[in-house]
Structure 1
Amino acid sequence: MYQQSPSRHSLVSSIIKITQHFSDMTYNCITTGDQSELSLRQVTSEELLSTRPMNKTAMSSAWHQSKRGRGHRRKEQGGANRDRLEEQKAEDSVPRGTCLTMCPAYELRQREAQNRLHRFEMVAGTERDRLPRADVSRAVKEYSRPAAGKDSTRASDLRPPSVLLKTVCYLVDEVAASSTFQPWTEVYSFVFDRLRSVRQDMIIQRVSGPDCVAVLEKSVRFLLYASYRLCGQQRQYFDPRINDTHLQECLSWLLESYRDGKHQHQEQFQALSLLYNLGSTEAIQHVLELPERIRSSPAVQLALAVSRAHMERNPVRLLRLAQRLDFIQVCAVHRHLLPCRTDLLLLYSHGHSSRNCRYPLQRLARLLFLKDTLAAELCQVYGVNVSGEWVNFSKSSFTDAASGDLQCRSMHEPLDDEQWNCSANSVIQGCA
């Protein structure tokens, strides 16, 4: 006799009894991404009964989804590999200079044959010859504008970073800071052009690191000093706007280079940048975002105090703080001092306007951060009456009509050539 098949009810009861003999604990392998972990979880009889075998449609969907996931991961890995290869290829394509002299041999021969040598580059005694000879130890590569069809990336025409730094040291320390080369307007023109050529080589080779920072620091000091010494000169000798453009470019590049790590003179040049750009909210924001060790340094704190006084239109406090600056910092801030002195005279002309009120000239000169004679000249320009050692303020007599023709150079401390050369030697080389 064939045994009768059990009913559905009895089958369900048997399954429930079997599952109750277990501890209802089972290992369940959960697969997540590319990793599998073994976790312990409780499985109830209801879950066991509700389990159904996966149909063909669900299996196909899961298989395609898994395939798409693997393909997406392979695509991401392939994209990352391509990016690395492109970066490596771009790095390998950057030209590397092989010229070990300050001026490439090809350019030196060409300029010598075309009589285009600067007199600072000629062999002594040949200046009056029809074709003066070039002094290899003094000739420096000149700046040339990029032109169509001109290859500016030849390795033999590019100087490596160490040679570029050596070139800048020669230009700044031995030419600009020397009393041998005169007049200084011609010195400025020569050094300015050759420094521009140095930066051109740096850009082509994507130079970075300590050599780049050292080159930019010396360039900034030179351009700051030139902006002070040549202030008020005729445009054919010195254009302040062009000098300002190149100085701002050097400062921006230098501050960006400081992000790569710690540098010895970073605090000083962060302060110089803020002093040169008084009134700029971007400059203030940049300083406030600096690390605490830099922001709390004495140089940066003093620059922040000067900047705050300038923003608050407090000329008395600003000029008092300016007297605590060193010479190179004064060079950076000097273009803002004349408007500040004008504001102070306007303020005092209204605050001390009285026929019977006399103000000591010597005390006013200290407030203006000027010598007594220069303070008296400035008062006369703005209509402030000076009588001997006393100043009589009057708001009705004050005028700033002539301030547009007044050059801030006239308010500089008068220096002769020897004093200028001494200051150049200490300031440009970083001793002051």
Structure 2
Amino acid sequence: MRAIRQEVVIQNLSGAEALPILEPIVRFLCLSAYRLCESPISEFDPKICAQHLQECLKKVLRCREELSKSQKRTAPYRFEMERLYLAFNLGSPEATQWVINRHGTTVPELQPLLGAQLECQRGNYFGAIRRMWVFTPLEAAVASLQLPTFRRRLLQQFSVAFHSRVQTVPLEWLETVLHYDGYERTFLPDDCRHYNLQLVPLAGATGGGVGDRAWAVKFEKAQFDAQRSMVSLTIDIDRTLGGSRGC
């Protein structure tokens, strides 16, 4: 597909000719980036995929701009690619500014994505994650690739906000705030340890306590290991693709 995109550039195809080729490639790359995110590097390189997807998205947006200037009619699914661009670049001021400069902030189709971007700029990553649930399935899939980054930043914020040598935070509450759903919940304790966060028995938990209900996290800002690489993404594909609003 990279060769196809390069051929589109070499042939200097018009926007009307390039879009039917590039838009399906963008959709395919979005889904591939999501579904293959847990694959070994020998089978799938997420960095190469992300670079290819970013290049395709920007080329598509330039083609759409070219068409919008030469045609009075609105293209079908006018804001689909802009929405995918924002979803893929969730948390990027550059992407946010690009869309606002061209379309403003009042376009209804773009407001859910711009709202999530604004939450990121405020440092409210919990709010940004919650807004993903109103994205279309493909937007939610590609935006969820940012979950490891957002979770890490939330844990770092909690290490300051909940800093205490005595008080703890229930692991069950963290599940909800960090949006660990389904089987993914079993990974939260290991993710906490990955960032050097201490797990302790929950105060008042009896010997019969099971799972997350028996544990809590002690946040100490000096203990959080901000130098550790982000944990890999492990999420329920069917839940994300099926739990969001339809296209």
TM-score bucket of the superposed structures, by smaller chain: 0.7 to 0.9
Which residue is equivalent to 2:206?
none
Distance, in Å, in 2 between the alignment partners of 1:324 and 1:363 is 23
Deviation digits for residues 220-264 of structure 1, max 9, x if unmatched? 111111112222433321122221221122111110111113222
Which deviates more, 247-256 or 363-372? 363-372
Aligned equivalent of 2:142:
332
Provide the secondary structure at the position in 2 that maps to 1:385: strand
Contact in 2 for aligned 1:279/1:310 (Cα 8 Å): yes
Give the corresponding residue for 1:82. Answer: none
Match of 1:380 among 159, 168, 193: 193
Shift of the 325–212 alpha-carbon distance from structure 1 to 2, 3 Å rule, reads same
Partner-residue secondary structure (3-state), 2:216? strand
1:213 aligns with 2:38: no
Q: Quick one: distance in 2 between partners of 1:225 and 1:376? A: 28
Match of 1:148 in 2: none
Where do residues 289-304 of structure 1 align in structure 2 (5 Å cutoff)?
Answer: 289-291=101-103, 295-304=105-114
Counterpart in the other structure of 1:408? 232
Task: Summarize the alignment of residues 313-328 of structure 1 with structure 2, pairs less than 5 Å apart.
Answer: 313-328=123-138
* C-alpha distance in structure 1 between counterparts of 2:145 and 2:45, whole Å: 14
Distance 1:198 1:339, change over 3 A: closer
Equivalent residues of 1:346, 1:398 under 8 A apart? no
Q: What CA distance in whole angstroms lies between the structure 1 residues aligned with 2:134 and 2:44?
A: 29
Q: Which residue of 1 aligns with 2:83?
A: 271
User: 1:276 offset after TM fit, Å?
Assistant: 1.8
- Amino acid in the other structure paired with 2:235: H
Q: Which residue of 2 aligns with 1:282?
A: 94
Q: Which SS does the other structure have where 1:290 is aligned?
A: helix
The structure having more radius of gyration, on CA atoms, is 1
CA distance in 2: counterparts of 1:210 and 1:313, whole angstroms: 39
The aligned amino acid for 2:199 is N
Q: How far off its partner does 1:321 sit?
A: 2.1
Structure 2 counterpart of 1:366, from 176, 179, 182 = 176
Q: How many residues align?
A: 222
With normalisation by structure 1, the TM-score equals 0.45
Shift of 1:386: 5.6
Contact in 2 for aligned 1:348/1:393 (Cα 8 Å): no
Q: Unaligned regions of 5+ residues in structure 1, if any?
A: 1-194
Give the match for residue 92 of structure 1: none
- Structure 2 CA distance for aligned equivalents of residues 197 and 312 of structure 1: 39
Q: How far does residue 327 in structure 1 lie from its aligned partner after superposition?
A: 2.8
Aligned positions of 1:33-52 closer than 5 A: none
**Would the aligned equivalents of 1:379 and 1:386 in 2 still touch at CA under 8 Å?**
no
CA root-mean-square deviation: 2.9
Structure 1 residues 402 and 280: alpha-carbon distance in aligned structure 2, compared to 1, 3 A threshold: closer
Alpha-carbon separation, structure 2, partners of 1:311 and 1:288: 14
Any idea what the Cα deviations from partners look like across 1:336-373, whole Å, max 9, x if unmatched?
22121112112223323346645343332221121232
Q: Which amino acid aligns with 2:134?
A: R
**Which one has more relative contact order, counting CA pairs under 8 Å at least 6 apart?**
2
Counterparts of residues 182-201 of structure 1 (less than 5 Å): 195-201=1-7
Q: Following the alignment from structure 1 to structure 2, what is the Cα–Cα distance between the partners of residues 323 and 397?
A: 34
Task: Report what 1:244 is aligned to.
Answer: 50
Amino acid at match of 1:392: V
Amino acid at match of 1:282: E
Distance in 2 (CA, whole Å) between partners of 1:330 and 1:237 is: 24
Q: TM-score, normalised by structure 2?
A: 0.75
Q: 1:326 Cα shift?
A: 3.2
Which SS does the other structure have where 1:403 is aligned? coil
1:164-203 alignment runs, 5 A limit? 195-203=1-9
Change over 3 Å in CA distance of 1:280–1:320 after alignment to 2: closer
Of residues 145, 148, 153 in structure 2, which corresponds to 1:343? 153
Identity of paired residues, percent?
27
Q: Please give the alpha-carbon distance, in whole angstroms, between the structure 1 residues aligned to 2:188 and 2:107.
A: 33
Q: How many angstroms does 1:306 deviate by?
A: 1.6
Question: What is the CA–CA distance in structure 2 between the aligned matches of 1:317 and 1:379, rounded to whole Å?
Answer: 21
Q: Which residue of 2 aligns with 1:8?
A: none
In 2, the alpha carbon distance for the partners of 1:350 and 1:221 equals 39
Match of 2:120 among 280, 295, 310: 310
Give runs of aligned pairs for residues 112-127 of structure 1, distance below 5 A: none
Q: 1:267 to 1:347 in 2, by over 3 A?
A: same
